[in-house]
Structure 1
Amino acid sequence: MDPNSSKRHLINQLSPEDLKARLANESFKRTTVSFYKYVILDKPEEMRDQLFLIWNKLHCYGRIYVAKEGINAQMSVPDHFWNEFKEQLYAIPEFNNVPFKIAVEDDGQSFLKLQIKVRQQIVADGLKPEEYDVTNVGQHLNAQQWNNAMDDGAIVVDMRNHYESEIGRFANALLPDAETFKEELPEVVEKLKGKEDEKILLYCTGGVRCEKTSAYLKHHGFSDVNQLLGGIIDYNRQVETEALENKFIGKNFVFDNRLGERISDDVISHCHQCGSACDTHTNCANKRCNVLFIQCDSCRAKYNACCGDDCQTYVLAPADEKESLEQRLVFKRGKRFYKTDKSA
């Protein structure tokens, strides 16, 4: 007997084309939701399998990471199963009453399948256990408290990657030039050196990166560390429901098929190919490149959704020519896009 046969029902086995067709044929609406919780999970593999069985029956899609330190989830849940989804999640003692962040803009296309992976950490940070204590984190500020602290001159720190802050951010925020959270943590400590007694405000998409960062900063001697409750996603909800001033400008980058949701009408970034005002991210249509970059509609048409000439040549080439092209063309292969690249 195949030792993996009992696990096959716990993974997706459909092709990307089948997944897209399945989603397109749905007759119901979905809600995109994110949540996280730092909590000790003694057996994350068993928790992963339990959650997959529950959510697969409810036709939930998403990307979920489970580790001994907790859970980090971004999901798409059918509206008619929402109450059942919530009840079953809260019935698990470790996740009882975990707060949800509902997407600002939602077209129901955020995820194509259900992926639940066991990781060493729910956010890859490269930290050793002795470098932080998640029971000793910063104070959580609601939207009004956050606005007040900004008005009082607190230091605002964006705990997201450069491609996230490029399209949207809080005014005058410190913006680390990093591509990963792991790179960002030591950079932030270095930039804040000498400000250990000043009021620090941390923000990110949904709050999970700030939770770890606040513990890390407190470990390094920062005394007044604060974080935005629920991240940018819940900040926007509070601003709208309580009629507060919105201090976030531009788009909030999200890690699903949407790649962004608009928080304000401001467009603060530019197309990486022509320089026109634009804040729409895309992944290069050449899957062997797949670099994430900002591309306007005009350049999307001009380059066939590719990042430059080499990738466009490859995408448009007949199948029997692609192998030889791979040997002589230069693809970015997921690395950072620069407007000065010769292929752009």
Structure 2
Amino acid sequence: MNATVEQLAPVEQQATTPWVVAALYQFKEVKDPAQLQQNLLDIVKTINLCGTLIVAKEGINGTIAGDQHAIQVMHQFLLDAGFNDMEYKESHSSDKPFRKMKIKLKKEIVTLGVDVKPRNLVGHYLDPKAWNDLISRDDVIIVDTRNDYEYKAGTFKNAVDPKTESFREFPDYVKKQLAEHKNKKIAMFCTGGIRCEKSTSLLLQEGFEEVYHLKGGILKYLEETPAEESLWEGECFVFDGRTAVTHAMQEGENVKCHACGWPLTPEEVALPTYELGVSCLYCIEKTSEQQKNNFRMRQSQIVAAKRKRL
């Protein structure tokens, strides 16, 4: 099996707004990932979807968007294919959140780079209320398993930032900075829960004694927890055109710098360092003038393409 094969399915037309966005994953043995990929490609040729689904021997993961009918068709197909214990959440976007529909075949549905067994070694799942109770204690270490730019948009009160640029760096963080706390209670969270599934499995494999994770991730927490009871601070970065969401899964105020990908607050957008599609305060000193000119050309092409669609 080619672990890096990526196939594209075209999105023929825009769905009626608002777009339904479905985030889903399940760790489940897939005997023939290539066949599942082909079956998914056949399905998306007949319905209007955009987003990404990742298929591997260990399961399926992804976020897709479309009208309610298209989302229901895909959801039912996955249920019929045996993914009947998915972590599955729907939200909405006012604009098309992805450009294309991609079905990827990979070695892992979320890349940790370390062999773990998330179906066998499992931490303690906590619902939002139990999570609030746990992370309010003084004897608990709260670890944000996401990347640095996601942490920047928002996180839980008193959460530790591992300062990772990708999930592949998390095992190194565990060995170098977290290993001395194996006898402590460790509470971990991520956007939808999938990275925590692997993180808790990794920690248990490394000899940690009490490992907890937020079931359904931040998205489920924001969906179910009233703002007045929430211990979440800021917005939750999402990997689509919305940039970030807040409580009740409402679209946030952060926007993404399309030069470097970092989320920006309205105040940061107002700074002179920000130029749409070209730069922000986090990357303006990291790119050359030639690169900035290339970004400007790209941005002008994006604007022109949008005008043609109007």
What TM-score, normalized by structure 2, do the two folds share?
0.80
Aligned-residue offset at 1:185: 2.2
User: Given that residues 18 and 95 in structure 2 are in contact (C-alpha distance below 8 angstroms), is that contact kept between their aligned partners in structure 1?
Assistant: yes
Q: CA RMSD in A?
A: 2.6
Q: 2:278 aligns with which of 303, 306, 312?
A: 306
User: Which structure carries more relative contact order (alpha carbon 8 Å, separation 6+)?
Assistant: 2
User: Given that residues 27 and 118 in structure 2 are in contact (C-alpha distance below 8 angstroms), is that contact kept between their aligned partners in structure 1?
Assistant: no
1:126-169 CA deviation, whole Å, 9 max, x = no partner? 11x3x545311101100000000012232110000000001100
1:261 aligns with 2:245: yes
1:47-104 CA deviation, whole Å, 9 max, x = no partner? 01112222332212211110001111111131134443332221112x024231223x
Q: Which runs of 5+ in 1 are unaligned?
A: 1-9, 265-277, 285-290, 318-344
User: Given that residues 16 and 67 in structure 2 are in contact (C-alpha distance below 8 angstroms), is that contact kept between their aligned partners in structure 1?
Assistant: no
> 2: CA distance between counterparts of 1:133 and 1:97?
14
User: Given that residues 29 and 79 in structure 1 are in contact (C-alpha distance below 8 angstroms), is that contact kept between their aligned partners in structure 2?
Assistant: no
1:9-48 CA deviation, whole Å, 9 max, x = no partner? x73358xxxx7xx43xx44542111111111111101001
User: Given that residues 134 and 212 in structure 1 are in contact (C-alpha distance below 8 angstroms), is that contact kept between their aligned partners in structure 2?
Assistant: no
> 2: CA distance between counterparts of 1:42 and 1:303?
48
1:192 aligns with 2:189: no
Name the CA shift for 1:35/1:294 in 2 (closer, same or farther; >3 Å).
closer
User: Given that residues 256 and 263 in structure 2 are in contact (C-alpha distance below 8 angstroms), is that contact kept between their aligned partners in structure 1?
Assistant: yes
Paired residue total: 276
**Within 5 Å, which residues of 2 pair with 1:202-281?**
202-240=188-226, 245-263=229-247, 279-281=254-256
User: Secondary structure of the residue that 2:229 maps to in structure 1?
Assistant: coil
> 2: CA distance between counterparts of 1:259 and 1:52?
27
Q: 1:283 aligns with which of 243, 258, 264?
A: 258
User: Secondary structure of the residue that 1:283 maps to in structure 2?
Assistant: coil
User: Given that residues 137 and 214 in structure 1 are in contact (C-alpha distance below 8 angstroms), is that contact kept between their aligned partners in structure 2?
Assistant: yes
Q: Which residue of 1 aligns with 2:25?
A: 36
Name the CA shift for 1:52/1:148 in 2 (closer, same or farther; >3 Å).
same
Which has the greater radius of gyration? 1
| Amino acid aligned to 2:64 | M
1:91 aligns with 2:80: yes
Name the CA shift for 1:200/1:88 in 2 (closer, same or farther; >3 Å).
same
1:61 aligns with 2:46: no
- Identical positions, percent: 27
What TM-score, normalized by structure 1, do the two folds share?
0.73
| Amino acid aligned to 2:261 | L
> 1: CA distance between counterparts of 2:86 and 2:272?
40
> 1: CA distance between counterparts of 2:172 and 2:187?
17
> 1: CA distance between counterparts of 2:189 and 2:30?
26
